[in-house]
Amino acid sequence: MLQKILVAVGGTEDASQTVPVVAGLAKAFDADVLVVHMRERIVTSVATLEDESIPESFQFGEDVVRRLVKLGVKARSDVDSARPEHLAQFILAKAGEFAAELIVVGSHHAHGLRERMTGDIGKTLAHHSQCPLLLMPSDPD
Longest dimension (CA), the chain: 49
pLDDT by residue, tens only, the chain of 141 residues: 799 999 998 877 767 888 999 999 999 999 999 999 887 655 566 665 566 777 888 898 999 999 999 999 999 999 887 667 788 898 999 999 999 999 999 865 544 444 544 457 888 899 999 999 998 876 655
Question: What's the rounded Cα separation, in Å, for the pair 30 and 16?
Answer: 21
On whether the CB atoms of residues 42 and 18 are closer than 8 A, the answer is no
> What is the architecture, at CATH level 2, of domain 4-85+101-118?
3-Layer(aba) Sandwich (3.40)
Q: So what's the pLDDT on residue 114?
A: 47
pTM of the model: 0.83
Q: What's the full length of the chain, in residues?
A: 141
